[in-house]
Amino acid sequence: MAPLLEVNGLVKRFGGFTALNRVSLTVKAGERFGLIGPNGSGKTTLINCVSGALPVDGGVIRFDGRDITTLPAYQRTRLGLVRSFQIPKPFRSMTVAENLEIPLEYAAAGRAGARGGADTAEILASMGLAAKAHLRPAGLTQIEMRKLELARAMAARPKLLISDEAMAGLSSAEVDDILTILFRLNEQGITIVMIEHIMRAVMRFSERIVVLDAGERIAEGTPDEVVRNPAVEKAYLGE
């Protein structure tokens, strides 16, 4: 199958510090893709470059056959490349339902599959947030906040969803809850890139994993292959 997301030789520097050094990866359509690496390895920087929050210093990013390297973030979202945030960033002055209406109106409108108002209720129901539709984000629990983050990303009607540590700090049961949601989204045909520290989750979820360390790609493979890779062990545990 043709790659949906193709990152080629990506370079990102902050002053004299090279955060990403010629990183390449491809994500196929429909895939469940894991991105892991120790703290400070460049995962979030990579996501920020791919989603358009940060300009790159070199390399090419292609999405759905199109060069998006210099495209503003909002246009990438409209193409179907959508991210969620590690620390939930809800629109606090709006209700939960209104939070979803922003991407529905700005990103999904006019695109196939967008039906407006009915979508909000449907997405909220599928996330188990239907009863909270008229609450403000301040009234949500931590897990509900994470679900809102995913629900809002879904309202943008993504082809590719980048889930940036959606499970950090959650209990084991809550992690399973989020995993179930992500599996279901994938079954609906959404390609998912998961960035996660919780190994149990990322190993169970991903079909393929890329490992970053100190801004370089050090390994790629199925979860089993990656776990047995000595370079990965060294990156996480030292010599």
Partner 1 sequence: MTGTVRALVVGLAVIAVGIVVASVRVNPYIYFAGYVILQYVVIATAWNILGGYAGYVNFGTPAFFAMGAYTAVFLIKWMKAPLPVLILAGGLVAALLGLGIGYLTLRLRGTFFSIATLALSVVLQTVVMNWEYVGGSRGLSVIRPSGPPFGSYVVFLFTVMVGLAVGSVLVARFIERSWIGRGLAALRDDEEAAECMGVPTLKLKLFATTVSGFLLGVAGAPFPYYVTFVEPNSAFALDYAVNALAMPMIGGTTSWVGPVIGAILLGTTSQLATVTISSEMNLFIVGVVLVAFVVLAPEGILGLVRRLRGR
| Residue ranges binding partner 1 (CB under 8 A) | 51-53, 72-75, 77-78, 82-83, 85, 89-94, 101-103, 105-108, 152, 155-156
Q: Are 36 and 204 in contact (CB under 8 A)?
A: no
Least distance CB 11 / partner 1 (angstroms): 23
Give the closest residue to 235 by CA, choosing from 7, 59, 29, 36.
36
Of 37 and 52, the one with the shorter C-beta distance to partner 1 is 52
Instruction: Map residue 170 onto helix, strand or coil.
Output: coil
Q: Are 123 and 154 in contact (CB under 8 A)?
A: yes
Of 51 and 120, the one with the shorter C-beta distance to partner 1 is 51
Least distance CB 92 / partner 1 (angstroms): 5
CB contact set of 105 (below 8 Å; sequence gap of 6+): none
| Helix then strand then coil, % of the chain, to nearest 5 | 40, 25, 35
Least distance CB 72 / partner 1 (angstroms): 7
Please give the structure tokens belonging to residue 55.
């300009």
Q: Are 34 and 205 in contact (CB under 8 A)?
A: yes
Of 119 and 213, the one with the shorter C-beta distance to partner 1 is 119
Of 112 and 237, the one with the shorter C-beta distance to partner 1 is 112
Of 93 and 142, the one with the shorter C-beta distance to partner 1 is 93
Residue 171 is given by DSSP the state -
Please give the structure tokens belonging to residue 105.
């109106």
Least distance CB 99 / partner 1 (angstroms): 9
Least distance CB 156 / partner 1 (angstroms): 6
